[in-house]
Structure 1
Amino acid sequence: MTHSTRIGQRIRWLLVLSLLLYSVAALAQTGADADHAGMPASEVGAKLTVGTKAAPPFVIDTDGRYSGISIALWQAVAERIGVTFDYAPTTLPGLFSGLEDGQLDVSVAALTVTAPREARIDFTYPFYSTGLAIAVPAGGSRVWSTVERFFSWQFLSALGALAVVLMLVGVLVWLFERRANAEEFGGGPASGLASGFWWAAVTMTTVGYGDKSPRTLGGRVVGLVWMFAAIIIISSFTAAIATSLTVGQLSSGIRGVEDLPGARVATISGSAAADALTDRGIAYQARDELDQALEDLAARRVDAVVFDAPLLRYEVLERYAGKLDVVEGVFDRQDYAFALPQGSDLREPINRAILEYLGDDDWSALLTRYLGAKH
């Protein structure tokens, strides 16, 4: 065998060996791709930063340890697509701004899919559909509630202001009449002022018993002005007193969204509930957290709280049983989903994992665990 023949054989063996090594490497890469269920190469092995915010029962924060419906679903999804992650607690606005500025890779909470939000970030396939609900004070004794309203600050303030006005008018009449009309407005200062107060009251209410009437020019001028002014004043005070008596009835009278206009409504700033109320032209008081809104409702500082139905029901059942009720029915459909940065490569693999999990019995069991049989 010549020298050139031996060299040719060696070259052929080297080529065969190279092809074998390449084939093994290709097979190994194919297996790895299959294990990651279509994950992009840039995400394989990366640790994600997952933004979250307490929103029981979807996100429950127990001293930095998270549980709940959204958390359990995300952990199942992360396991299916083969990613690791760290939670990053933030505010509701932070769950969206963090995706925009690159601080977060995914936001997991009770996030409602809305058109304005979709314009800023991407959402995954929705995993839960619900709506907005209304929490009101629990119904109590109507008789006791009526008695309470008669001793409310609004009612007593209206009566106090009316008494001051009557006393001022009574003082003026007494000053003019105390000497010239001593039989009706005379006597000591206490007796004279009481007579003036009585005359101002019966004149304002147009009862006019006729037992007292001014006789001097100054007294009659005061009487003439007071008769016309009283028409306006009595209307204003009647409205104020009526408001103080009926404002306490608003909560028990709220049976749906159509009853909210004119009531003192609270919701969470920046939430989908706030947007829904704005779209309907319903004024509301903004709170930073649901806890704050429900505390104000329990203290009767507001008449109703509007927010996502499952979150309201969970909080009322856990913390305000017997004090607050959630009105039956919902309005304005809400779809919950995970949030992602615009154009994220994670969207497709997460969507497939969500759809797979929603078809499992584990998903139904999870909802029953946190929301009860009627979920």
Structure 2
Amino acid sequence: MKDLLSFKTLTTLVLCALLALMASPAWAQQDADDAVSAAMPASERGADLIVGTKAAPPFVVEDEAGAFSGISIQLWEAVADRLGVPFEYAPSDLSGLFTGLGDGTLDLSVAALTVTAPREANIDFSYPFYSTGLAIAVPAGGSAVWGTISRFFSWQFFTALGALALVLLGVGVAIWFFERRSNAEEFGGTTAQGLGSGFWWAAVTMTTVGYGDKAPRTFGGKVIGLIWMFAAIIIISSFTAAIATSLTVDRLASGINGVQDLANARVVTVKGSAAADSLSERGIAFTTRTELEEGLEDLAADRVDAVVYDAPLLNYRVLNDYAGTLEVLPSVFDRQDYAFALPQGSDLREPINRAILEYLAGDEWRATLTQYMGKQP
């Protein structure tokens, strides 16, 4: 009897073990499937495309209600309509637009994204839909003509002119003192007439015009004349240099006319941007801000000398928010191509490229550029 019970117990244990072994692969496979499903992009799990974006006018413009518009947005929505794919936007920062493609939380990133070699090593880009370059924003210099005229009526200019008049009057008094009796014909008359003649002689002598209508004849007058001729050379040279500096100071205020002038300037750009990569490659020292707006605020407050960033974004911001205060230099450098970003190997790339090329060939694209840029490229 005891042997029979032992046999039944042993049989039961063997059967349980066999059942467990048969079930474990199914459980393991289910766990693996769940893990894979969790890591899959949203689109592959049967949901709408998750499209990352970030406000970057004029490419992405976000209104107070959180709705998006702009060049990139209108292009993407036209592409999505052509492909018949549903989607939803997921706002992110610049870094998240790229990391989200790698970890599967985003299916696509649509913003002001430039194509660079380091980025291409980790993700894929669509066909570029807009090309431009980097630009430099500096404090506005104003009108050159008005700047010149205003310098002639500045307090500093009149102060220098008044100081020179006092020097001329002092020399005129000295020459009149020696010549008023011995040379009354040229420096005589009333005190006012004599001082006027002395002032006139001092002025024409300083400017080396020397009309010859008045000249010292006494020994003291000739000594004054000799001293004044040498002193006048120094004074007129210094005064001319001061005027030239005063008239050109507005033009040279920033000292930045292109990328070659950034080496000794206080330069700022946006962290993680293509502009930051370009400045690093050129060996130009710079600081970064999280958003372009922060850099422009610093520039307007004279805390930095220049902001370097994508030309269309700088032009849009300066034109709409800092007109008359800041200006964007006309020259651009380092070509920048804008495109959509996708995960590496995404099946969406080819369909999106075809839809982009079809849309770029139409009038709607030119109208979109005119709407946001003010002119067609």
In which range does the TM-score fall when normalised by the shorter chain?
Answer: 0.5 to 0.7
What per-residue deviation string (whole Å, max 9, x for no partner) do you get for residues 302-353 of structure 1?
0000000000000000000000000011000000000000100000000000
**Aligned pairs (5 A) from 1:137-148:** 137-140=139-142
CA displacement 1:79-130 (0-9 Å, x = unmatched) = 0111011100000000000000000000000100000000010000000001
Q: Does 1:56 align with 2:57?
A: yes
Contact persistence 1:264–1:303 (CA under 8 A): yes
TM-score between both structures, scaled by the size of structure 2 = 0.59
How far the C-alpha of 1:249 sits from its partner, in A, is 8.1
**Paired position in structure 2 for 1:90:** 92
Query: CA–CA distance in 2 between the matches of 1:54 and 1:251?
Result: 33
The match for 1:100 is 102
Q: Number of residue pairs matched?
A: 235
Give me the whole-angstrom Cα distance separating, in 1, the residues matched to 2:126 and 2:75.
Answer: 13
Partners of 2:338 and 2:49 lie apart in 1 by 21
Say whether 1:253 aligns with 2:255: yes
Contact (CA 8 Å) 2:141, 2:251: kept in 1 or not?
no
Structure-2 residue corresponding to 1:71: 73
What CA distance in whole angstroms lies between the structure 2 residues aligned with 1:46 and 1:73? 22
Give 2:131's aligned residue: 129
Match of 1:373 in 2: 375
Q: Which residue of 1 aligns with 2:318?
A: 316
**Cα distance in 1 between the residues matched to 2:271 and 2:250:** 25
Which residue identity lines up with residue 312 of structure 1 in the other structure? L
| Amino acid corresponding to residue 281 of structure 2 in structure 1 | D
Q: Return the index of the structure with the highest Cα Rg.
A: 2
Q: Is the 8 A contact 1:44 1:83 kept in 2?
A: no
Task: Give 1:4's aligned residue.
Answer: none
Following superposition, the deviation at residue 62 of structure 1 comes to 3.7
Q: Aligned partners of 1:346 and 1:330: how far apart in 2?
A: 33
How far off is 1:285 after superposition? 1.0
Q: Distance in 2 between matches of 1:251 and 1:356?
A: 48
Partner Cα distance (1:252, 1:365) in 2: 37
The question of whether the paired residues in 1 share the 8 Å contact of 2:266 and 2:305 is answered with yes
Q: Is the 8 A contact 2:142 2:324 kept in 1?
A: no
Mapped to 1, the partners of 2:252 and 2:376 lie a distance apart of 29
1:46–1:83 contact (8 Å) kept in structure 2: no
Partner of 1:117: 119
- Quote the residue 1:173 is aligned against: none
Counterpart secondary structure, 1:252? coil
User: For residue 349 of structure 1, what is the amino acid of its counterpart?
Assistant: P
* Mapped partners of 1:80, 1:52: distance in 2: 20
Q: Where do residues 221-370 of structure 1 align in structure 2 (5 Å cutoff)?
A: 252-370=254-372
Q: 1:66 to 1:251 in 2, by over 3 A?
A: farther
In structure 2, runs of 5+ residues without a counterpart are: 1-42, 148-248
| 1:187-206 equivalences in 2 (<5 Å) | none
CA pair 94-325 structure 1, distance change in 2 beyond 3 A: same
C-alpha displacement of 1:139: 0.7
- Over 3 Å counting, the alpha-carbon distance change for 1:295 and 1:251 in structure 2 is farther
- How far apart in 1 are the matches of 2:253 and 2:368? 34
Equivalent residues of 2:139, 2:300 under 8 A apart:
yes
Q: Which residue type is aligned with residue 140 of structure 2?
A: A
Instruction: Indicate if the aligned counterparts of 2:109 and 2:342 stay in contact, CA closer than 8 A.
Output: yes
CA distance in 1, matches of 2:143, 2:340: 44
Contact 1:267 1:307 in 2 (8 A): yes
Secondary structure of residue in 2 paired with 1:97: helix
Cα distance change of structure 1 residues 356 and 62 upon mapping to structure 2, 3 Å threshold = farther
Deviations, residues 65-90 of structure 1 (Å, cap 9, x unaligned): 00000000000000011101110000
Show structure 1 runs of 5+ residues with no match. 1-41, 146-246
Residues 118 and 279 of structure 1, relative CA distance in 2, 3 Å threshold: same
Q: Contact 2:72/2:112 (CA < 8 Å) preserved in 1?
A: yes
Which stretches of structure 1, 4 residues or more, deviate above 2 A after TM superposition? 42-46, 247-252
Q: What's the offset of the Cα at 1:253? A: 1.8
Q: Give the drift of 1:64.
A: 1.1
Cα distance in 1, alignment partners of residues 312 and 283 from structure 2:
24
Alpha-carbon distance between aligned partners in 2 of 1:283 and 1:248, rounded to the nearest angstrom: 25
Evaluate the alpha carbon distance shift between residue 364 and residue 374 of structure 1 in structure 2; reply closer, same or farther with a 3 A threshold. closer
Answer whether contact 2:141 2:250 (CA < 8 A) is retained. Answer: no
Query: C-alpha distance in 2, partners of 1:77/1:141?
Result: 45
